[in-house]
Structure 1
Amino acid sequence: MLKSQKIAQCFSPAAFIHDTEENYQAIEKLIREQEIGGLTFFHSRHSAAANFEKRAEVLDVSGTFEKLIGLINRYQAISKIPLLISIDGEYGLAMRVEKTPQYPFAITLGALKNDAEKWVEEVCYRMGLDMKRSGIHLNLAPCADVNTNPNNPVIGYRSFGDQAGKVAKLAFAAYSGMKKAGIDACLKHFPGHGNTATDSHLGLPILYKTKAELEAEELFPFQFGIDRGVELIMVGHLAVPALTGGKDIPASISRELITDLLKGEMGFKGLVISDALNMKAVANLYPEPGELEWQAFHAGNDILCFSDHVKEGIEKIAKNASDEEVNAVFGKVMNLKKRLGVMESKSIEVPAFNWESHSQLQKDLAENYVSVISGEINPEELQAMAKAGKLGYQEFFTQSPSLFSQQLDLPVAPIEQAEKVILAVFVPSHKPLNQFGMDQAILSELQELAKNKRCILIHFGNPLALKLLGKLEDFEAVICGYQEFEEVQRVVAQTLQGL
């Protein structure tokens, strides 16, 4: 086998489900001519770096799942060595593909009150089965980032929390669940992206901490996973000068960080995956095509994700890397493919999902994480006030009347006449940009209401948005739902009714 063919097995460029026929053929050309080792699927070019949420793009997005399966079959059929198919699906296929099962965000799972590790493993086992049946071998998840900066623009809801010990256990449970389903998973974003204030899709975050501080927090979940046999780790695009001799170099292209610290000092023997090489934190550093790919390979990455310059990258690595280095990485990638059954890849049918079972899981989870986080709920008093025409109800940031208002099943009075008001807030976005999508005028109206009347706040969405709703003590009680799932809305309604 040629040296260039072995190097090509490291490459997993982006493949877009919604794209032009010309672009589909360009991927086929990469498979035929460059003999790449894998593909990482995204919804569409418009959303590649972003997660799947409300989009403004004008694009035919019907049949995304069927299209994905069709493309996997199409690309596998022409690849000499079967392709390793990856997806970044932190909360399931639904992060990239409509009309597929969506699971709770990591921040929600971090709020589970009982048997959290057992439930997280079960969630990620189900998620892994969805992917395995769809021809996917590797999920680029979970996040092992400790979200200690509440204003973090890029991690937030993607982290299991702000305690290193809890994050370590739940990230490992998530990893274990996916492995149990027969796919692989990876801990990300080494050395830890949770305390950053810059989005690495847009610029380079720099983390100024001492090595001892990093070991106690950021590095802890990764070391926890390494000690328990984790086989894949993704390195993020963030600079940590304390670990790179004072240099502001992205971790993803730092040999000191990947080869010396992660593989050497921390004892990691598995495969290292680069975060997307098109992200601005690294993409702008090396204008010459192929140079970034070589730097990432030289630093110690075994799989190069989302490279925009595959051909030039292979040529540069072939020119600069020794046969010994190339053979070692090629061996690791091929062993991974054998272990995951990639080499026996067959054409797949579009699988059907068991929506009933999924809904039951969501209900069981919601009963475990929906929480009264301040104050107390007195269902008898609410019933009595409703009967007396003194209970009000108002929704914020909903497009249409919610399922929750129907589930509540309490007669409500106009706000002016009400002595007590239930305020249901449906947070529009799970990302902090533009106040999580919440309009300031409406927020001010809500805060004013809380000061003038006895109010119970129901918060459906990312709990990091709670700080924008005013002081918690201004509300008689606060219930955190974490998600807007129908099952969650039912559980909250039952909590208010004392069921």
Structure 2
Amino acid sequence: MHNSLLSYAEATKTLTLKQKVGQLFMPAAFINDSEEDILKIEDLIRTNSIGAICFFHSRASAATNFEGKKKVIHNDDSYETLKKLIIRYQKAAEFPLLVAIDAEWGLAMRIEKTPQYPYAITLGAIQGNNDLVFAIGKQIATDCKEAGIHWNLAPVVDINNNPENPVIGYRAFGDDKYVVCRKSEAYLEGMKSVGVLGALKHFPGHGDTATDSHLGLPIINKSKEELMENELYPYQKLIKKGIDAVMIGHLSIPALDSENPSTTSSKIITDLLRADMDFEGVVISDALNMHAVSKKYSKKGLLEANAFAAGMDMMCFSEHSKEGIEEIIASASEKRIEESFKRVWKLKEQAFSSTSLEENHNPKLSSELNKKIAAYSITELYGNPNGIEEIKTSDFLNLSLPNQSVNSFSSKIEENFGQKHHQLNSSTIEMIRGKVAKNENIVLALFPPSIKPKNKFGVDETTLEFIQTLINKKRVLIYLFGNPYMLDILQLKSDTSVVVVYQDFTEFQEVAYDHFSGQKEAKGKLPITLKTLHV
């Protein structure tokens, strides 16, 4: 590092009030940015003593545009670019920057050609064995650290008890508060073991909502007692164990504050989180560009000042850092600024005191770990326990909803069971319809195009109706390599047999084939309650 971090005792004497407020800002930085934009960010850091940056893939894929209004350009050099940009931005900073990213399931959440690990919902299916979740936290933290990142804004501790949730879903460990709490703790401990910071999100709980806060403000109509009983349970437990940070989601909870969303609510941040729940660490906002809150403020910097007044310490994805700094200086007391500055600086001290990596990253480790998780998470939901054997020993149709990458699962079935593999899409439906007429039994590998529920997980209407008809008229064994919530749209029958594999990684496909061929038992348990399947 070009400039070492002052101790808090030195920093509080050295930095001016404006510099202290600058330390509370975390604007977005984009890996695939133009040189012109990079120079602007360097200038912003230099002239405003910005304290932190959060990396996103590109301006097109950033939170409020993720609905696909702009084309996301893929760049195979993203990882190298990220490392170079971190060095550049650190050079522009007078005081070392805290570098953050969302890497819930690894750097792959934001960066191509980097290791991807299973989603939280997959880890939620593992029974016991939280050492595997610890190992994931540790591996992700190691990848972050090697890139120059100090802070992984994870884990999601939302309890996903609403199947209609468009944005949390697969990012949560499940719908059971005890499971969510234990898995989150193991993940955090794994990160901590290599000195990477974490943040619990999205306080006070984004699980029970059907609105995406990137686009609108979700309303949660629950009493404080109900929230303490369920949504706030993991926060309270983990706060007692000592955590680095809590991220505030953009949520409207009338029972806690009838006037303000959580982002600008002192009742939620100061009264509930700080006073009632006794949290002393850093409170960070969710991205302040998200439409749930950003649309309400025409005056630049006012959202940041209002969030700060409510008790926020760190303004993440502030699009108006310069104006936000000015508004806070104009409206807040020096004492209040010092409180947040101290918390943020102490977090920096913690991040920068941990320098060495105990091991170099080994891609083989990621693959081995993914394979172990595949073996412990694969889940049977049998309508007919004998179905699998009966289907396998019969003449069956080997079908798949095509995968974006390789489908080794269906290929192996063709190779070893002699049943030709057919891909199901709008152009092959008629040909497959003819084959279906001659087959009573079908093995259907589903690779949903999208992990998110929007537009029926990316499956077109014709194909979806065809699958629903198959399920209704034939004996079908489904292997689902994706979000288990998809089962809710398939119109399953009580005797449909399903194996949830959760991920489409090669390692998960290998384990799925071993399960199909009788070499592996399913050890996982569905971490959510589905509307259509009562298991």
Secondary structure of residue in 2 paired with 1:46: coil
Output the amino acid matched with 2:292.
A
Summarize the Cα distance change of 1:401–1:32 in structure 2 as closer, same or farther, 3 Å threshold: closer
Q: Size of the alignment, in residue pairs?
A: 487
How far does residue 376 in structure 1 lie from its aligned partner after superposition?
2.5
> Is 2:311 aligned against 1:300?
yes
Q: Which ranges in structure 2 are unaligned for 5 or more consecutive residues?
A: 1-14, 421-434, 520-535
Give the equivalent residue in structure 2 for 1:204. 217
User: Quick one: distance in 1 between partners of 2:45 and 2:285?
Assistant: 20
2:265 to 246, 254, 264: 254
Report the equivalent of 2:400.
395
What is the aligned-residue identity percentage? 44
- Pick closer, same or farther for the CA change 1:190–1:401 going to 2, 3 Å: closer
Q: What is the CA-CA distance between 1:407 and the residue it aligns to?
A: 2.2
Distance (whole Å) between structure 1 residues aligned to residue 65 and residue 113 of structure 2:
15
* Partner Cα distance (1:126, 1:58) in 2: 27
Deviation, structure 1 residue 377: 5.7
State which of 514, 519, 523 in structure 2 corresponds to 1:494: 514
Match of 1:150 among 163, 166, 170: 163
Q: Kindly tell me: are residues 239 and 383 of structure 1, through their superposed partners in 2, closer, same or farther at Cα, counting changes over 3 Å?
A: closer
Partner of 1:363: 371
Task: Tell me by how many angstroms 1:53 deviates.
Answer: 11
Quick one: which of 163, 166, 183 aligns to 1:170? 183
Match of 2:159, SS state, is coil
Q: Give the whole-Å Cα distance in 2 for the aligned partners of 1:256 and 1:142.
A: 24
SS in 2 for 1:430: coil
How far apart, CA to CA, are the structure 2 residues paired with 1:51 and 1:28? Answer: 24
1:43 Cα deviation from its structure 2 partner: 0.1
* TM superposition shift of 1:59: 3.0
Deviations 1:208-258 (A, max 9, x none): 1111111111111111111111121000100111112x33x2101101110
Shift of 1:401: 6.7
Instruction: Tell me whether 1:464 sits opposite 2:478 in the alignment.
Output: no
Instruction: Give yes or no for contact 2:471–2:492 (8 Å, CA) kept in 1.
Output: no
Whether the 8 Å CA contact 1:107–1:158 is kept in 2: the answer is yes
Moved more, 163-172 or 487-496: 163-172
The CA deviation at 1:315 is: 0.8
Q: Is the 8 A contact 1:51 1:95 kept in 2?
A: no
Partner SS state of residue 171, structure 1: helix
- 1:167–1:221 contact (8 Å) kept in structure 2: yes
State the shift of 1:50 in Å.
6.7
1:411 and 2:418 are equivalent in the alignment:
yes
> Helix, strand or coil: the match of 2:305?
helix
In structure 1, give the amino acid aligned to 2:139.
R
Is the contact between residue 175 and residue 187 of structure 1 (CA under 8 Å) also seen in structure 2?
Answer: no
1:125 aligns with 2:138: yes
Name 2:3's counterpart in structure 1: none
CA spacing shift, 1:356–1:345, aligned 2, 3 Å: closer
Distance 1:392 1:378 in 2: 14
Match of 2:381 among 368, 373, 378: 373
Q: Give the conservation status (yes or no) of the 8 Å contact 1:143–1:187.
A: yes
| CA distance, structure 2, for counterparts of residue 383 and residue 48 of structure 1 | 45
Superposed, 1:316-465 pairs within 5 Å as: 316-341=327-352, 353-374=361-382, 375-376=384-385, 381-382=390-391, 384-385=393-394, 390-398=395-403, 402-408=407-413, 409-412=416-419, 414-465=435-486
CA distance in 2, matches of 1:401, 1:416: 28
Matches within 5 A, 1:76-225: 76-115=90-129, 117-225=130-238
Per-residue deviation, 1:440: 1.8
- TM-score, scaled relative to structure 2: 0.87
The answer to whether residue 44 in structure 2 is matched with residue 44 in structure 1 is: no
Structure 1 residues 399 and 146: CA distance shift in structure 2, 3 A: closer
Does 2:275 align with 1:290?
no
Q: Report the CA distance shift for 1:143/1:131 in structure 2 as closer, same or farther (over 3 A).
A: same
Q: Secondary structure at the match of 2:381?
A: strand
Residue 130 of structure 1: how far off its partner (Å): 0.6
TM-score scaled by length of structure 1: 0.93
**Match for residue 482 of structure 1 among 502, 511, 532:** 502
Cα contact 2:157–2:201 (8 A) shared by 1? yes
